[in-house]
């Protein structure tokens, strides 16, 4: 079971401190990929904190890709490639995300957007989603599927 001391958290909120502790353990390798994290209720009970605090910390870790969740199974540590650097650019390998798309083809990006992105050094060939115009192609949402919902 993960145990953390909340006495040395300085001025950080509880969930932010918990998030930082778990993130540091993942980056340092103390928590290995696919390790199951404690349930929110058990974790909160053992540390004497609110379940909402644990939910917020897990939610932030989930949003940043450090952990992934499996429905009715719990939260698990994502695999992080060893090319971690201090600029905050991490390379995550999340099995659940990789199974969503079977093709490695990037979405269509128009020439103006492509030129501006190439100037930033962003790897367009490996792009999973084009977020340039804040929308995805309509082909990703077939009417036949939506009609059944």
**Residues recorded for the chain:** 149
Please enumerate, as own/partner, the contacts of 88-93 that have beta carbons within 8 Å and a separation of 24 or more. 90/65, 92/65, 92/66, 93/33
Report the C-alpha gap between 33 and 78 in whole angstroms: 5
Give 2's pLDDT tier (boundaries 50, 70, 90). Answer: confident
Report the C-alpha gap between 19 and 67 in whole angstroms: 11
Strand segments, DSSP code E, in 15-91 are 67-70, 74-77, 79-80
Which contiguous run of DSSP H or E holds residue 92? strand 92-93
Burial profile 3-40: b = 16 or more Cβ within 10 angstroms, e = fewer: ebeeeeeeeeebbebbbebbbebbeeeebeeeeebbeb
Q: Which residues pair with 76 in a beta bridge?
A: 36, 68
Q: How far apart are the first and last CA of the chain?
A: 41
Give 12's pLDDT tier (boundaries 50, 70, 90). Answer: confident
C-alpha to C-alpha distances, 85 to 28, 46, 89, nearest whole angstrom: 12, 33, 7
Report the C-alpha gap between 2 and 44 in whole angstroms: 11
pLDDT given for residue 72 in this prediction: 87
pLDDT given for residue 97 in this prediction: 45
Per residue in 57-75, pLDDT (tens digit) is 999 999 988 999 998 899 9
Higher pLDDT, 4 or 137: 4
Q: Please name each of the domains of the chain with its CATH number.
A: 14-97 (1.10.10.10), 111-148 (no CATH)
Give 104's pLDDT tier (boundaries 50, 70, 90). Answer: very low
Share of the chain above pLDDT 70, in %: 56
pLDDT given for residue 41 in this prediction: 94
H-type alpha helices, 49-138: 51-64, 95-98, 111-120
């Amino acid at each position: 079971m993960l145990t953390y001391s909340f006495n040395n958290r300085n001025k950080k909120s509880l969930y932010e401190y918990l998030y930082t502790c778990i993130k540091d353990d993942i980056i340092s390798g103390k928590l290995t990929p696919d390790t199951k994290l404690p349930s929110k209720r058990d974790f909160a009970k053992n540390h004497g904190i609110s379940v909402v605090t644990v939910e917020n910390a897990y939610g932030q870790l989930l949003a940043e890709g450090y952990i992934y969740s499996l429905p009715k199974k719990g939260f698990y540590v994502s695999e992080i490639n060893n090319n971690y650097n201090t600029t905050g650019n991490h390379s995550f390998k999340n099995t659940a995300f990789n199974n969503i798309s079977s093709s490695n083809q990037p979405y269509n990006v128009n020439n103006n957007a492509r030129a501006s992105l190439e100037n930033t050094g962003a790897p367009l060939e490996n792009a999973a989603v084009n977020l340039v115009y804040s929308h995805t192609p309509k082909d990703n949402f077939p009417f036949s599927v939506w009609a059944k919902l």
